[in-house]
Structures are given as structure tokens and as C-alpha cells.
């Protein structure tokens, strides 16, 4: 990652190319992390990677030396099963050594199968059961609004996850409060655990539904760094919370994983890890 | 009903899924209700045979339980099948109001309970489910120890009118009721070994551990009575009273929190009726990171851990 660092709280990437490099490193790191542990959720790790890279690379004002810095931006990974990519992003931002990723899910590790704020630096709230992150993020944004603080709250939910009713309660209340300091990404990879979202409990037209709840919404290619960055930076003078429906591909970047429900939590063999690594590196070369 | 096909007698989830299919062949009212859990609940076979009778509401447990209550109202016999932490945790109030308080004829099947999700951590562990369900008025709670008990418990649940909570284990277990006919009697403990020094009361995956502990104790001259208490509610009071009178102490062992769990249930009853010296073993806190075996070790839910607890109890 090239240096664009002014203070430790500033995001390190200044160009889209930097963010793309970071995304590659997150995918490679998550792949190794999962292969070493022998468990994980690679499909959802790879669909959300570019969102994580934009946030940790170019957007979030956080301080790895002081994870509890009161004025930090808040990030909530509601789909906590994507822990391997989240941990990798945190390690690359400096919250803990990259070498610690090898302990993922191991005995007494700080890096459990789902994120735990009482153990892992940089985690704001514990997730794993789906449908918890957005309500907590709405609370964070409400807190900033009450305090007149300038920090932002960002939250990622899975598309299958949004079938949980708690999300819709939170969507309603965020709009009610006019939380323009809140940004929701829906990782719209169109797959949940066992099948497609549309054959299970259909979500389309998702952006229109969220807009009807009073949010400012956009649909972007969730692997297009510039488009994601632009959507985050769009003016907020509308007084509404912002939802970015990010069209993504589950297993993005590895041809044999892409768009297959089976790769929700399948673990690649040693040979598949090599193939995956080669594809990921080749695409960035 | 036609003769039961062969069931792999080591996997409670398979025994559950296979039995549900057999019951559904004979009873058109039976529907399976789940939350994007066709794979994790082993409902693939059910879906193949009865595609229209598999109601997958998506990732929405509160809706799932409410929908099941409505289906029961419409004359169906729903078996709700979902990971136990999300079924019992997320939808607690739906279970309370829509199922138990309303008396809906719904069978709640909590899959992969206890710490069976290992490394996925405390959000996915279901160590509170027994305590939560026990707090609900008169809800029968069954924790089968092996596939034989699972088959019979599922059949019983289908026959009995009203709500039932079944806790279906995730990983393979040895049979503890082989040759025992019937393998499961609702509300009755099965005495698996005779002994009058100490009683080990266990259920689910911990029955095997208790049996192995009894073996270790026997080697050091302590005769342990092992009770498989598959039904947590209603509890087998007679067996507990006898254990309290005839042995010098009672150790309960469960893959859940003892406060409110099997241990709590036994202690509450005995405190009022036949005070006994007890040790309540189980998972006492949110687990550290680790696989199932590691976690059992950490919680002393091992033959050695249970034997030690029994020795300590007798020594004090
Ligand atoms: C409340 C709850 N119910 C069920 C699950 C089991 N589960 C884990 S991941 C998953 C699918 C999630 O799909 P989605 O939100 O689309 O995530 P992604 O496709 O990004 O992996 C399910 C059902 C859970 N973690 N929490
Ligand atoms: Mg998805």
C-alpha cells in the first residue's frame, strides 16, 4: 500500500490503484487464513472485499494505536461470517500483526470464527447471528447525531441477511431520525447459504424497497472501486441515511468459486488454494 | 406405516431427517419449516420427496416460528428445524406467545446445539437453549442421546398433541441405548449402569462421557449409577429421588449451562424434596475460541473431568 498517511487516523490509500492493491492483499490474506484454519466463509469474504478495501483503504478515520478513540468512524460488519476478510483488512490497517491471522479459529485465538469486540482490536460489536449489525449501527449514528459529533457510521449487511425483520425495523427508524451520517452497504451477491435469494425469499427490487423506507439509495457495481468511493462521497445534504446496494459476485475473483452457493463455507483444498492465488494475482497483474 | 429403512445409527441429524420423511409419508399434515437451513438441518431428502411441504422462509427466524403457528392453526403439523441458537434465541417470544402460550401443535427442533459449532464461537453455540425453553410454561424438552432415541423421540413428538422442543445433536455419537426397547420413554430416565456410590445424570452427547467416567470410577472402586435423563421437562422425579436416597451424591453433566439447564432442574427439584449433595457440570461461560474437543476439555466435559468431579464430591 503506498503511503498517503498524514496522521495515523487518516486512511492510507490516495488512489484507486492503491485500493485495488489493498483488495488483492485482503483476498490473498483471507484465502490463506481460511486455508490455514480449515474453516471460513470464502464466498462472502470475496464478495465484500472491495467494499472493505475502499473503507479501510480510503474512507475510515480510525486509529490502530487507539482503537477506542472516541471520534473514530464506526464500521460494523453485520455479516460476521466474513470474519477472515475483515480480520485481514484490520491487520493490514495495523490493528494487529498480519502473522496473527494464522491463529484464526485456533485454540484461544483472539480471532474467533466470528468477530468479538472484547478480544479483537478494531471490532465495534459482536456479530454472527444475522440481523444485528444494522440496528446497532443505527444506535451509533443516533449517538453521533445527539452529540453533534462528526464521525460517520458504516455498516455492511448481506443480502440474505436482510431477510431478517430487525433490519427493516432499523431501516425505518434510521430514516425517521434523518441519519445522514449513516451509510449502509448491502452486499448484493444474490446468494444466501443454501440457494439464491430470489428463489428463497425474493428481495428485488431491493433498492426501491429501501428508498420507500426513506433512504437515499444507489445501486453500484460492488467491485468497482471508483463507483463505491463516489457513492460514499456523494453529498449528504438530503438529510437521509444512505444505502448503497452493491452488486457483487459471491466468490469474486476465483472462477471456480464465483456464483456458487457451495462456496458459502466450503474450504479450498491445497491445490485449489494455489489455483485461486494464481487467478487473483493474474487479474491484478 | 411400512417397515423403517436402515438408518445410519451414529448420526442424530440423519436419524431425525430420515424419521421425519417416514412420518411425512404416512401423515400428510406434516410440513418442515426452516430458515435457509435445508443443508444444515439435513432437509434435502425431505425437500426432494415433498417439495411443497418444505417451507423455507429464508433467514427470518421470528417469521419462521410465527408461520409455523399459523400452519398449525390451518391443520398442518409443522416441524420447525433450525440451528438451535437462532431458533430458541432469536424467536424466543414467538415460541412463548405463538407456540407455547397459544398451545400451537408445533414441534421445535433445535439443530446443532451446545458447542457443536466449535470455532464459530459463542454466537453460534447454543448453551442457553435448555434454560430458555425450560422457563416456558410446561414445554416438553427432549435431548436424545443417540440416533435410536432420536428416532423414537421424533415419532413421539409427532403423536403427542401440543408443542415439543427437541434438541438434535450435530456430531456423531456412539449408541447408548442399543438393544434397549423402547430406546426412549418420554419423561423417564434410563438407568444405564447400576451403582450406589454416586449418580451421574447426563443427557445428549454427555451420556457417553458419563458412561466413560463411570468406567474410570469403577477402576478406583467407586460404583457410579448413570442415568440418561433425555427428558429435561417433565423431569423423572422418581429416578432423582432414588438417586438422592440410594447414592451419596449426584453429578449432572450437560452440554449447556447448568443454571436453568438439566443441572438446575434436578437441583431445584431435589432442594425441595430430597436435598442431595450435587455438582452441576456444563458449559459455564461464553467459550474461548477452539474446536469442540478443545472446548469440552476446557469445560471439563470429559470422562476424566466428570470422574474427578464425582471423586471430589464424595471426598468432601
Ligand atoms: C440469525 C441467523 N440465522 C441463520 C444463520 C446461519 N447463516 C450464516 S451465513 C448465512 C447466509 C447469509 O447469506 P448472506 O447474508 O447473503 O451472506 P453472504 O452471501 O454475503 O455470505 C446463514 C443462513 C445465522 N448466522 N444467523
Ligand atoms: Mg448473499
| Domains (range + CATH), chain B | 12-168 (3.40.50.970), 190-315 (3.40.50.920)
Q: Which atom of ligand 1 is nearest to the CA of A81?
A: 9
What residues contact residue B205 under an 8 Å CB cut-off, 6+ apart?
A: B114, B145, B169, B171, B173, B255
Ligand 1 centroid – CA B106 distance (Å):
24
Q: Determine contact, residues B211/B201, Cβ cutoff 8 Å.
A: no
Contact yes or no for B119 and A39 at CB 8 A: yes
Indicate the DSSP class of residue B140: -
Record the cell numbers describing residue B177, joined without a space: 441405548
> Where does B106-245 show beta strands of DSSP type E?
107-111, 141-142, 164-168, 190-193, 198-202, 224-228, 231-233
Nearest to A225 by CA among A75, A77, A58, A93: A58
| pLDDT for the residue numbered A7 | 56
Contact yes or no for A106 and B290 at CB 8 A: yes
- For cell 457440570, the residue is B281
Q: Could you tell me the residue range of the domain that residue A118 belongs to? A: 16-284
* Interior angle at CA B37, CA A266 and CA A26, nearest 5: 35
Q: What are phi and psi of A198, to 5 degrees?
A: -70, -25
Length of chain A: 285
Mean pLDDT for back-to-back runs of 10 residues, chain B (316 residues): 51 96 98 95 96 97 98 97 98 98 98 97 98 97 97 98 97 91 97 97 97 97 98 98 98 98 98 98 96 97 98 96
- Contact list, A194 vs chain B (CB under 8 Å): 36-39, 56
| pLDDT for the residue numbered A213 | 98
Query: Which residue ranges of chain A lie beneath pLDDT 70?
Result: 1-7
- Chain A to chain B, count of Cβ pairs less than 8 Å apart? 91
Q: Kindly report the nearest CA distance between residue A232 and chain B, in angstroms.
A: 28
| pLDDT for the residue numbered A285 | 73
Indicate the DSSP class of residue B260: T
Contact yes or no for A160 and B39 at CB 8 A: no
Q: Out of A107, A130, A192, name the one closest to residue B289 (CB).
A: A107
Q: What is the CATH number of the domain that holds A90?
A: 3.40.50.970
Domain assignment present for residue A213? The answer is yes
Report the side by side order of strands in the sheet with A242-247: A74-77, A153-158, A182-188, A242-247, A216-221
Domain assignment present for residue A247? The answer is yes
Nearest to B7 by CA among B165, B142, B140, B154: B154
Record the cell numbers describing residue A183, joined without a space: 451509510
pTM: 0.94
Bridging pattern class, strands B141-142 and B164-168: parallel
Residues pairing with B153 in the sheet: none
Contact yes or no for A165 and B63 at CB 8 A: yes
Domain assignment present for residue A10? The answer is no
Residues pairing with B198 in the sheet: B224
- For cell 403457528, the residue is B69
A243-276, pLDDT tens digit by residue?
999 999 999 999 999 999 999 999 999 999 999 9
| pLDDT for the residue numbered A3 | 43
| pLDDT for the residue numbered B3 | 52
Nearest to B270 by CA among B232, B308, B244: B244
Domain assignment present for residue A7? The answer is no
Q: What are phi and psi of A158, to 5 degrees?
A: -75, 160
Q: Determine contact, residues A132/B123, Cβ cutoff 8 Å.
A: no
Q: How many domains is chain A partitioned into structurally?
A: 1
Domain assignment present for residue A3? The answer is no
Domain assignment present for residue A181? The answer is yes
Q: Kindly report the nearest CA distance between residue A102 and chain B, in angstroms.
A: 13
- Contact list, B89 vs chain A (CB under 8 Å): 129
The alpha-carbon radius of gyration of chain A (Å, integer) is: 17
Containing H/E element for A76? strand A74-77
Q: How far apart are the C-alpha atoms of A218 and A233, rounded to whole Å?
A: 12
- Contact list, B296 vs chain A (CB under 8 Å): none
Containing H/E element for A267? none
- Contact list, A161 vs chain B (CB under 8 Å): 59
Residues in B 122-141 with any Cβ partner in A closer than 8 A: 122-124
| pLDDT for the residue numbered B7 | 42
Domain assignment present for residue A122? The answer is yes
Contact yes or no for A128 and B123 at CB 8 A: yes
Nearest to B287 by CA among B143, B118, B97: B118
Domain assignment present for residue A267? The answer is yes
Record the cell numbers describing residue B44, joined without a space: 434435502
* Interior angle at CA A152, CA A150 and CA A155, nearest 5: 165
Q: Average model confidence (pLDDT) for chain A?
A: 96
Q: Which atom of ligand 1 is nearest to the CA of A129?
A: 26
Q: How far apart are the C-alpha atoms of A264 and A251, rounded to whole Å?
A: 8
Nearest to A77 by CA among A23, A109, A115: A115
For chain A, the farthest-separated pair of C-alpha atoms sits apart, in whole angstroms, at 53
Amino acid at each position: 500500500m503506498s503511503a498517503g498517511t498524514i496522521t495515523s487516523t487518516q486512511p492510507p490509500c490516495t488512489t484507486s490503484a492503491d485500493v485495488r492493491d489493498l483488495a488483492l492483499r485482503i483476498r490473498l490474506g483471507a484465502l490463506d487464513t481460511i486455508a490455514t484454519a480449515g474453516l471460513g466463509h470464502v464466498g462472502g469474504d470475496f464478495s465484500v472485499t472491495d467494499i472493505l478495501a475502499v473503507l479501510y483503504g480510503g474512507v475510515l478515520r480510525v486509529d490502530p494505536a487507539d482503537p477506542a478513540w472516541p471520534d473514530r468512524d464506526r464500521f460494523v460488519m453485520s455479516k460476521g461470517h466474513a470474519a477472515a476478510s475483515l480480520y485481514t483488512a484490520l491487520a493490514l490497517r495495523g490493528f494487529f500483526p498480519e502473522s496473527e491471522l494464522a491463529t484464526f479459529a485456533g485454540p484461544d485465538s483472539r480471532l474467533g470464527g466470528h468477530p468479538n469486540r472484547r478480544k479483537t482490536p478494531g471490532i465495534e460489536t459482536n456479530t454472527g447471528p444475522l440481523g444485528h449489525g444494522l440496528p446497532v449501527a443505527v444506535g451509533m449514528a443516533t449517538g453521533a447525531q445527539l452529540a453533534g459529533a462528526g464521525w460517520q457510521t458504516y455498516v455492511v449487511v448481506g443480502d440474505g441477511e436482510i431477510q431478517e425483520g430487525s433490519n427493516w425495523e432499523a431501516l425505518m427508524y434510521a430514516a425517521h431520525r434523518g441519519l445522514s451520517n449513516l451509510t449502509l452497504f448491502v452486499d448484493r451477491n444474490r446468494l444466501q447459504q443454501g440457494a439464491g435469494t430470489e428463489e428463497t425469499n425474493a428481495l428485488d427490487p431491493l433498492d426501491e424497497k429501501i428508498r420507500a423506507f426513506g433512504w437515499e439509495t444507489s445501486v453500484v457495481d460492488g467491485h468497482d472501486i471508483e463507483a463505491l468511493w463516489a457513492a460514499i462521497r456523494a453529498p449528504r445534504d438530503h438529510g437521509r441515511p444512505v444505502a448503497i446496494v452493491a452488486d457483487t459476485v459471491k466468490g469474486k475473483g476465483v472462477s471456480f468459486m464465483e456464483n456458487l452457493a457451495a462456496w458459502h463455507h466450503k474450504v479450498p483444498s491445497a491445490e485449489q488454494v494455489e489455483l485461486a492465488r494464481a487467478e487473483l494475482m493474474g487479474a491484478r497483474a | 406405516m411400512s417397515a423403517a429403512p436402515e438408518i445410519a445409527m451414529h448420526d442424530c441429524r440423519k436419524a431425525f431427517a430420515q424419521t421425519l420423511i417416514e412420518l411425512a409419508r404416512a401423515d400428510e399434515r406434516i410440513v418442515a419449516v426452516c430458515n435457509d437451513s435445508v443443508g444444515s438441518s439435513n432437509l434435502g431428502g425431505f425437500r426432494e420427496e415433498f417439495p411443497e411441504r418444505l417451507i423455507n422462509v429464508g433467514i427470518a427466524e421470528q417469521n419462521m416460528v410465527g408461520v409455523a403457528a399459523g400452519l398449525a392453526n390451518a391443520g398442518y403439523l409443522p416441524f420447525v428445524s433450525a440451528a438451535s441458537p437462532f431458533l430458541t434465541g432469536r424467536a424466543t417470544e414467538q415460541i412463548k406467545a405463538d407456540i407455547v402460550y397459544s398451545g400451537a401443535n408445533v414441534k421445535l427442533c433445535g439443530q446443532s446445539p451446545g458447542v457443536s459449532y466449535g470455532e464459530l464461537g459463542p454466537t453460534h453455540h447454543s448453551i442457553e437453549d435448555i434454560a430458555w425453553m425450560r422457563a416456558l410454561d410446561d414445554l416438553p424438552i427432549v435431548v436424545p442421546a443417540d440416533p435410536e432415541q432420536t428416532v423414537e423421540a421424533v415419532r413421539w413428538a409427532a403423536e403427542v398433541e401440543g408443542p415439543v422442543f427437541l434438541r438434535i445433536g450435530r456430531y456423531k455419537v456412539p449408541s447408548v441405548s442399543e438393544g434397549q426397547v423402547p430406546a426412549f420413554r418420554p419423561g423417564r430416565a434410563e438407568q444405564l449402569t447400576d451403582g450406589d456410590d454416586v449418580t451421574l445424570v447426563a443427557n445428549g452427547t454427555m451420556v457417553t462421557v458419563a458412561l466413560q467416567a463411570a468406567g474410570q470410577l469403577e477402576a478406583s472402586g467407586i460404583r457410579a449409577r448413570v442415568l440418561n435423563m433425555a427428558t429435561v421437562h417433565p423431569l423423572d422425579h422418581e429416578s432423582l429421588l432414588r438417586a438422592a436416597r440410594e447414592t451419596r451424591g449426584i453429578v449432572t453433566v450437560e452440554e449447556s449451562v447448568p443454571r436453568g439447564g438439566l443441572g438446575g432442574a434436578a437441583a431445584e427439584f431435589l432442594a425441595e424434596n430430597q436435598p442431595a449433595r450435587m455438582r452441576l457440570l456444563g458449559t459455564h461461560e461464553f467459550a474461548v475460541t477452539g474446536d469442540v474437543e478443545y472446548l469440552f476439555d476446557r469445560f471439563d466435559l470429559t470422562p476424566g473431568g466428570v470422574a474427578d468431579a464425582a471423586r471430589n464430591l464424595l471426598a468432601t
